Amino acid sequence: MRTQVGIVGSGPSGLLLSQLLHLHGIETVVVERRSRDYVLGRIRAGVLEQSTADLVRRARAAERMDREGLVHEGVELFFSGHTHRIDFRRSARGSVLVYGQTELTKDLMDARDALGGTLIYEAEDVRIEGVTTERPAIVYCKDGREARFECDFVAGCDGFHGVSRQSIPADVLQTHERVYPFGWLGVLADMKPVSDELIYVSHERGFALCSMRSMTRSRCYIQCSLDDDVAAWSDERFWEELRIRLPEAAADRIEVTPSIEMSIAPLRSFVAEPMRYGRLFLVGDAAHIVPPTGAKGLNLAASDVHYLSSALIDFYENASATRLDSYSADCLSRVWKAERFSWWLTSVLHRFPGQTSFDRKIQLAELDYLVGSEAAQTVFSENYIGLPL
């Protein structure tokens, strides 16, 4: 078997890339080590930048997103006993769209199925060969048999633990990382949101966030220790701790509802560069991780897809490799700005082990300056809704 672009990973970035290329007559094959049901069962973020939503529309997979997605024109910040709203529309003439990543993945799967896309699930022992040659190949085992196909290019959309980044020699790849000394305990529940918009909380007991997937399903988080055990947290204990950290009006709206899913996620900032080696291109979490505070993970993956799909289309339609050659630099320019914003927001909202009273006062001064300065709110809003591609 041979194709033009081999894609490793069938998360939203791999599916979106495959769909965009297909619409320009470029053949792709997507290889995924997990089952289709497993991919659809992953609980992930759900705040889409305008550019991400526009890219999904270009992929002709936006009908349900546009019908069910929730347009948010601001967020609320709660600290020192007071709530403050940052107005995206006033500050930066923009908005974000709240739409679950699981739903987006399903929409993209359906779009690929409708066009007869080749998606290979439960592919074991995937490896990438010959990326420095003109005919790289993806090799995998399926149903006990080894299979192999050649391609012109390989897109590594297989996440932080995938094989793609590991296929780049250690003496070529440079990595940068910060691991945070806390995690997020998250709950997904069929509960009406406690607010019309997201609430970010900086509390003496730790950070909290109230988000949503729809008007009947909430996603809420509290900062916790990395040593915490999910088994030690009942639904009742989680909701009570969240209620303590929230503003009173929001706390009163909490319904003690059975959780659909509860998990603890560690936080890290990570970047690998370059994002291209030979004919292998890293996309999304394979190249970079951001703490979820700034809602940038999925959106950065989508911006990588934008740059890579545009470069591949230019290559096949105009025989130009210029955009392919600038792919890594184009992506990393945006990646590092998003890393900065996510790091900054994480730093000012969370309580750190060993934090002094001076450290805490600086955090509160940062937040107080933000809510009191139109210029600071413009910077915040521009970064939150997404910098230009």
- Report, as residue numbers or ranges, the catalytic residues: 72, 200, 292, 296, 384
Residue 227, phi then psi, degrees to nearest 5: -85, -5
Would strands 259-273 and 118-120 be described as parallel, antiparallel, or unpaired?
A: unpaired
